[in-house]
Amino acid sequence: MPPLTNTPVYFGNFLVTPQVFHLTAHSFALVNIKPLLPGHVLVSPRRPAKRLSDLNHAEISDLFLTVQQVGRMVERFYGASSLNIAIQDGQAAGQSVPHLHTHIIPRRSLDLEDQGGSDAIYGMLEGEDGDVGKHLWEKSNRRPKFPSVDDSSRQPRTAEEMADEARKLADEMKQQQINDGSSHSSL
């Protein structure tokens, strides 16, 4: 299946078109290069606004309606019972790509018990594991001469792995919209 659009989609400076699984008039949803938990995806405005306060009313409404739809789908698709939905609004808040984005992370009971409990997700988001910008930079053609070593057990996914997940989630979004009769649909 080809990407959802022939129009390039950028997340900050990074071309992410093959990772995109849902598009609306003002937002897009994409799979994460290095998800903190299975199903961890991002929703971002199509316009490269840096902060939530930079969005106009139509963009804010579309962004949060998209977060709601995508959240419902990934919760069902990944067999979760809850979601973490987070925005790191600005560099001092941990935002690693200067393009507003919402993290949607499907959760299950006791999924992080071995790491200190369910609140461990916040440290993961703010730490090196949650540094989306770093992981995208390392995968881009602009790779630094001396890439940093990733000591964690999670490895960045390949473009093929992300495109495969994007295809599956795009199919799920279409099915959800058919089932829901949703008026907030993809383009």
Q: Which residues are catalytic?
A: 101
Spell out where 7-141 has E strands: 10-11, 14-15, 20-23, 27-31, 41-45, 82-87, 102-107
Instruction: Please work out, in degrees rounded to the nearest 5, the angle formed at the alpha carbon of residue 79 by the alpha carbons of 89 and 37.
Output: 40
DSSP 121-132: HHHHHHSGGG-H
Report the 10 Å Cβ neighbour count for 5. 13
How far is the C-alpha of 46 from the C-alpha of 24, rounded, in Å? Answer: 9
Q: At what angle do helices 159-180 and 57-77 cross, to 10 degrees?
A: 100
How far is the C-alpha of 132 from the C-alpha of 25, rounded, in Å? Answer: 24
